[in-house]
Structure 1
Amino acid sequence: MMKNKNINKEKLLSLYGDYILSNGERPKNIYLFAKENNFEEEIFYQYFTGFEQIEKEILNHFFIKSLELCEQTEHWNEMNSKEKLLNLHFTFFENLTMNRSLVLMILGETKRKEWVILQELRKSFLEFTKQLTFENLEILEKAKESIKNFNEKTREEALWLHFISIIEFWKKDQSPSFEKTDLYIEKTIDTGFEFINNEPLKKVMDLGKFLWKEKFKV
């Protein structure tokens, strides 16, 4: 039988996602994964070194595609930093929701695995923050002086910490259409880093009419 010659990076991401959703676990090894999908094992290594790397890239792929979609919207370049953050966050988490079962499987049940899997996403997110104008970014303006006076790299890390908090909330959200996650994105970007300043990701929230409580653990 002729081997499938139409294998590229995105096709591998799709095949791997389908496999773990259907089987509830990783393939036994790369050889069997390639054989089952009718392509040579060496093709896999042209893009990835192993299954952990492909899982990292799936989350990163969702982010990159979300950013590309945002950048195609009208007036993207005219948006301020807050508007760009909101647009990207809403688009990314809508993308995650469309692939929720897969994302939850990849992130796993331990914080250690989650932080490993998020490494590539983190790089792309921090690269995105470099285009933001911190001087006009309300979420940072409302932070304590200790954060406002940090250098640009530290502020990028603070935005990443906020981004992680949204992922943690989304994982636990049981509201219809995950509407509370959308509210969380909007409210926390509006209120700034007050919740981060008081023991990162562990402060109980009370955001006005948004009457719910949730605790985050790193």
Structure 2
Amino acid sequence: MKNKPINSEKILSDYGNYLLTQGERPKNIYVFAQENHFDEKEFYQFFSSFEHLEKEILKHFFQKSLELSLEIEGYEDMSAKERLLNLYFIFFENLTMNRSLVLMILGKKNLSTLQKLHELKSEHQKFIKTLDFNDLEILEKAKDSIKNFNEKSREEALWLHFLSIIEFWQKDESPSFEKTDLFIEKTIDTGFEFLNNEPLKKIIDLGKFLWKEKFQKS
């Protein structure tokens, strides 16, 4: 007997449960649909493939985190830095609540080349566009070579910084992943002042650098 009409969140939930319990993707969409009591054609109303679905899971976590951050009292009066911090803290708390699933989806590939992050990147850029760059301390403390970038390039720099946090979180073994919270706060506070004159090339290595120089000694 089939359930009531399916929706995207139900498919996302069913797929996540399958990955966690089986440790791999379903054999095909038909089998996945049958096991969860809906028709294969209903899957295609929302997603084109399992790859597409996995992209949407990461996007979904970001969107839900942003919704929560917007509900914080006094949000409209927050600085760009405070809005960035609040969203990142909520997002990584969300990831932690779903850590096993997220780690399976991300795998062990280089995040900067991972196609699964395409939708997440799009959502991140939309959010960054809402911030006042002139009020964004992380860029004010950057090298001149980054501060003088156009808006699109600075969006890319902030995305690569965001990726460095995800990489850090993937490897974090501290209780409650408290060092990830510290990493978020420290890197946003200090901006890109650690970078040399090769602006974007070094951003993705920022996490590894700070782990070695600041956190392993604590």
TM-score for the superposition, normalised by structure 1: 0.92
Q: Which residue number corresponds to residue 52 of structure 2?
A: 53
CA contact (8 A) 1:126 1:156 kept: yes
CA contact (8 A) 2:164 2:205 kept: no
* 1:211 pairs with one of 189, 195, 215: 215
Q: Determine the C-alpha separation between the residues in 1 that align with 2:166 and 2:155.
A: 17
Q: Which residue number corresponds to residue 201 of structure 1?
A: 204
| Residues 46/195 of structure 1: CA separation in 2 closer, same or farther (3 Å cut) | farther
Superimposed CA distance per residue, residues 56-81 of structure 1 (whole angstroms, 9 cap, x where no aligned partner): 00000000000000001111111110
Superimposed CA distance per residue, residues 24-67 of structure 1 (whole angstroms, 9 cap, x where no aligned partner): 00000000000000101110000000000000000000000000
The residue type equivalent to 1:201 in the other structure is I
The residue type equivalent to 1:102 in the other structure is L
Q: Which residue number corresponds to residue 12 of structure 2?
A: 13
Give the SS at the match of 1:202: helix
Q: Aligned ranges for residues 93-108 of structure 1 at < 5 Å? A: 93-108=92-107
Q: Determine the C-alpha separation between the residues in 2 that align with 1:196 and 1:38.
A: 53
The residue type equivalent to 2:136 in the other structure is L
Q: Which residue number corresponds to residue 216 of structure 1?
A: none
Unmatched 5+ stretches in structure 1: 214-218
Q: Determine the C-alpha separation between the residues in 2 that align with 1:206 and 1:57.
A: 30
Q: Once superposed, which parts of structure 1, at least 4 consecutive aligned residues long, lie more than 6 Å away? A: none
Once the 2 structures are TM-superposed, how far is the Cα of residue 207 of structure 1 from its aligned partner?
9.1
CA contact (8 A) 1:147 1:155 kept: yes
CA root-mean-square deviation: 1.8
2:132 is the alignment partner of 1:129: no
Q: Determine the C-alpha separation between the residues in 2 that align with 1:5 and 1:42.
A: 15
Superimposed CA distance per residue, residues 178-217 of structure 1 (whole angstroms, 9 cap, x where no aligned partner): 0000000000000001345463333522798x4327xxxx
CA contact (8 A) 2:111 2:163 kept: no
CA contact (8 A) 1:82 1:137 kept: yes
Number of residue pairs the alignment of both structures matches: 211
Q: Which residue number corresponds to residue 24 of structure 1?
A: 23
Give the SS at the match of 2:21: helix
CA contact (8 A) 2:112 2:160 kept: no
CA contact (8 A) 2:55 2:120 kept: yes
Q: Determine the C-alpha separation between the residues in 2 that align with 1:211 and 1:166.
A: 14
Q: Determine the C-alpha separation between the residues in 1 that align with 2:211 and 2:102.
A: 28
Q: Aligned ranges for residues 87-98 of structure 1 at < 5 Å? A: 87-98=86-97
CA contact (8 A) 2:163 2:204 kept: no
Superimposed CA distance per residue, residues 70-122 of structure 1 (whole angstroms, 9 cap, x where no aligned partner): 00111111111000000000000000000000000000122279621111000
The residue type equivalent to 1:37 in the other structure is N
2:138 is the alignment partner of 1:139: yes
CA contact (8 A) 1:86 1:185 kept: yes
